[in-house]
Amino acid sequence: MATYGSYEAVRELYRGGFVTVSVARRIDGDAELKYVVKSFEPPPENLSPKARRQGVMCFLDAARAQQVVAESGAEHWAPIHEFKPIDGGAYYVTDLYPRSAQRLIFSEVKLDGHRLHTIITSVVNALIEMRGVCDRPHANLKVGNVLLVEPQPGVLTKVVLSDPLPETRIDAESVDYIDQKLVGELIHHLVLLKPVQVMGGWPVPDSPRWSFLGRKADAWRDLCNRLLDPDLAEQCPTLQQLAQEELPRLVAPPRRALPTAAVAAGVIIAAYGLGAIALPQGAAISRILYPWRSGVTDQGGEVLVF
């Protein structure tokens, strides 16, 4: 079992795109498996030294930004317990979360308006926290980076975010509205179970799935359309406007608990946008739930890790 600083990787969950994700425990003290180690360790033959250095810098830059905002007292960010460069790469350690928003899509959960409101409100608050502490957007918001906080199975209280884009990879022209656009994409994905690009883009198509949101369904679809408008840059609401004006109008009463039958079949490991279903002992990991939406290219020294 590999060691990463104060932590020991016990079981590998995912390997791909030069990234490995493992469930972990502390070497000294509590041996409970409640942590996740994510490492970036490209084989030497795949990247030039320059590209490797750039990849490590991007990986650590994202981890550092997340740690700074999480340690500021922010309530909607997964913690970073440790992050360091290692020989040929880098790693960081975070908490193990049972489910991410990707799990809801995999299970084809029919989100009602109350739970969608809980998720999106938490997400927007997290984005405000990052802007306030780090003066930058997340810029990498996707369902695999939205981690569900459930004190009891099916009882969703809030979500926390992970994996902001390395600051050097943020498009300067879209810095003022990129997060709002990604909130629109997130609403689309959670309601329709498919990314915007798969469904044909903007405007958002009608679907019976919008009706699951109840009385506020039309208002949710309207907000999603406005955030995905190609001219969003010219009429973009601020994150504060979303939190204080738009979302309060979409509050809906709670309904039944999220279905948990699928969870009984296996434990879902959500690890900063990466993970897998851990099936009963003796079975192989069968499905990757959180595809690593990027790669690393070694063309002209350019490296993109997230």
257 assigned to some structural domain = no
Beta bridge partners of 175: none
Distance CA 185, CA 201 (A): 10
**Mind listing the pLDDT tens digit for each residue in 56-113?**
999 999 999 999 999 999 999 999 999 999 998 999 999 998 889 999 999 999 999 9
Last residue of a domain, one of 232, 250, 268: 250
Question: How wide is the angle at C-alpha 239 spanned by C-alphas 94 and 186, nearest 5°?
Answer: 60
Residue 75: domain span: 3-97
**Mind listing the pLDDT tens digit for each residue in 5-62?**
999 999 998 888 899 989 999 998 778 899 999 999 998 888 999 999 999 999 999 9
**Nearest-CA neighbor of 98 among 152, 17, 48, 27?**
152
| Structural domain count, the chain | 2
**Mind listing the pLDDT tens digit for each residue in 204-230?**
989 999 999 999 999 999 999 999 999
Looking at the fold, whether 117 and 78 belong to one and the same domain comes out as no
Looking at the fold, whether 87 and 169 belong to one and the same domain comes out as no
Looking at the fold, whether 69 and 142 belong to one and the same domain comes out as no
Whether omega for the bond prior to residue 79 falls within 30 degrees of 0, making it cis, is no
pLDDT(265) > 80: no
Q: What value does the mean pLDDT of the chain take?
A: 84
Looking at the fold, whether 135 and 151 belong to one and the same domain comes out as yes
Looking at the fold, whether 189 and 240 belong to one and the same domain comes out as yes
Task: Write the CATH number for 147.
Answer: 1.10.510.10
pLDDT at 255: 60
Looking at the fold, whether 21 and 9 belong to one and the same domain comes out as yes
Alpha carbon distances (Å) from 36 to 29, 91, 102, 274, 289: 16, 10, 17, 10, 16
pLDDT at 282: 36
pLDDT(277) > 80: no
Question: How wide is the angle at C-alpha 182 spanned by C-alphas 181 and 187, nearest 5°?
Answer: 100
Task: Write the CATH number for 23.
Answer: 3.30.200.20
pLDDT at 46: 85
pLDDT at 217: 96
Find the mean pLDDT for residues 117-146. 97
Distance CA 15, CA 20 (A): 4
Percentage of the chain surpassing pLDDT 90?
A: 67
Q: Is the dihedral of CA 228, 167, 20, 149 positive or negative?
A: negative
CB 275 within 8 A of CB 145: no
Q: How confident is the model at residue 254 (pLDDT cuts 50, 70, 90)?
A: low
Last residue of a domain, one of 233, 250, 267: 250
65 assigned to some structural domain = yes
Find the mean pLDDT for residues 285-297. 34
262 assigned to some structural domain = no
